[in-house]
Chains A and B, each alone.
Chain A
């Protein structure tokens, strides 16, 4: 795993992937349960965010429940146009993630907008701009329990 992490860092990453307490001194509560000092814990979390081991530390929001609209979309992009199309798609602020995947449908991207109408419009614009069929794969059901990555 990542060699830059010491045992305490690993403990923090593993223990803190959820349940950060909604109390006035949350780091003190967590630190006590891990046998750490409050300020040391804060400093380590700061460092883990600073060096990119953590993307961030805070709430993980679920966009649809906030009133927004999200979908997964895919396109079959001809190899010769791939980079140019990736640039066009990436330029949309509504496109959050875009992955190249090994399949005929070789470009997969997550689109988020504040309203369902805005989402539909973005998909249409991507299709018009690229001249490619945009396949829409909205979530019909979610079977999410929660990922725990072991550091």
Chain B
């Protein structure tokens, strides 16, 4: 993955906004004052980071649990390497899949190469959604499992220090 390093101003912007924006009428101006650059430059830099994918999106980051999505299942699939990219795009586009990645297998303990995180309001709800994925993958998925989380041991989010 292309990973340009941050210039010092980008870095200052990330540090100033990664815990959330100032909630006021002019948040970009407030951010600009914090970082010490003009508001227009804040806007231009954030737009560039959005365009480059360094920012996925800007807005409300919901807490799954507080919205009632208390069940999460990491569904994992053993999909033929030749078709995993094509099928991964289909699975990643499903509205109930929050993250979808190809990752390496770790044979013999771990035959799965496609990971799709599914959120639901109960395990039954997650299982229904996993069944939809199974239906789409059909025989292309040689095996699959759903790993439910039984406990959150740590959740601090990704941060720059």
Please report A residues at the B interface, Cβ cutoff 8 Å.
Answer: 1-2, 12-13, 16-20, 22-28, 38-39, 42, 45-46, 48-49, 51-70, 72, 74, 76, 86, 89-90, 93, 95-105, 107-110, 112, 114, 135-151
Contacts and interface: CB of A to CB of B under 8 A. Distances in A.
Contacts of A146: 56-57
Contact of B24 (A13, A42, A48, A104): A42
Interface of A, secondary structure class, is: mixed
30 contacts: A24-B28, A26-B27, A49-B20, A55-B62, A56-B20, A57-B60, A59-B49, A59-B57, A60-B56, A60-B57, A62-B55, A64-B3, A67-B5, A68-B3, A68-B160, A86-B153, A86-B154, A93-B161, A97-B157, A101-B150, A103-B145, A112-B159, A135-B109, A137-B115, A138-B104, A140-B101, A142-B102, A143-B91, A146-B56, A151-B62
Contacts of A108: 74, 147
Contact of B28 (A26, A42, A95, A112): A26
Q: Which of A45, A46, A54, A135 has the most CB of B within 10 A?
A: A54
A138 B55 CA distance: 20
A64 B55 CA distance: 10
A139 B113 CA distance: 10
Nearest to A21: B58
B85 to A, nearest CB: 6
Chain B interface size band reads 35 or more
Contact of B60 (A17, A26, A103): A17
Contacts of B47: 22
B131 to A, nearest CB: 18
Given A17-B59, A24-B26, 7 more contacts: A42-B24, A46-B23, A55-B62, A57-B59, A58-B21, A95-B154, A149-B64
Going nearest first, the 9 A-B pairs with the smallest beta carbon separation are: A143-B92, A18-B57, A56-B20, A143-B88, A147-B98, A98-B153, A65-B54, A100-B151, A58-B21
Given A100-B150, A147-B98, A72 B103 contact: yes
